[in-house]
Amino acid sequence: MQSNIRQINGRWDLGYAMDKHIVSSIYIGDNEYGHPQFETNRTPAGEALYRLKYRADWEQIAPLAHYLKQHAIPLFHHIGFIVPMPASTPRERQPVTEIARALGSLANIPCFDNLLVKAPGDVSLKNLNTREEKMAAIENAFSVNPVIANDGRWNVLLIDDLYHTGTTAEAACMALRRYTKVDNIYVAALTWKPS
């Protein structure tokens, strides 16, 4: 998979999204239930992510982890551990968690998939209009489970699937900042969606 890396800014020390999610999306009419239908052309990373999340194609985990190892890991200095962004949709297996675990294994970096915790009763951001409304709704949505027993501070790489406004990643970073084991916070998103 090729990349089209874009720097993303927020309440983290350094962040990048690896490629666009969608190249084009053309309205092709409504289905029999009156819902709009689109013909969507995704980037290779966007397509792999779509297949993983919405088609339960678990064979996409390894290519996406390799993609992050090749394109994201070299962008950050001295990563101490990896943390996946907690999922907003309950699933038996969580795609971002699986990718983060695979990346940790490939890059020989510890992955703490239970360190960042999302509060139950997640607020939907879809009906909120401004960035301020979204931040107010989720600013306390995350907490940290203090699972690191070693003394010291480490740079953490937060893995996310799709970067849009950055509101959720910023809320997660606010929680990570309160954890004494965290030094610099890096964010790597597989894809981005234009605002």
pLDDT in tens, 177-186: 999 999 999 9
Which CATH number fits the domain that encloses residue 188? 3.40.50
Distance CA 190, CA 49 (A): 8
pLDDT of residue 9: 96
**Tell me, what DSSP letter sits at residue 75?**
G
pLDDT in tens, 89-103: 778 899 999 999 999
Q: In angstroms, what is the C-alpha Rg of the chain?
A: 17
Look at residues 40, 36, 49, 58 and name the one whose alpha carbon lies nearest to residue 1: 49
- Structural domain boundaries, residue 15: 6-26+37-192
Residue 87 located in a structural domain: yes
Please say if the pLDDT value at position 126 is more than 60: no
Output the pTM of the full model. Answer: 0.89
Residue 31 located in a structural domain: no
Residue 135 located in a structural domain: yes
| Residues whose CB is less than 8 angstroms from the CB of residue 92 and which lie 6 or more positions away in sequence, other chains included | none
Residue 1 located in a structural domain: no
Please say if the pLDDT value at position 192 is more than 60: yes
Residue 130 located in a structural domain: yes
Q: How many domains does the chain have?
A: 1
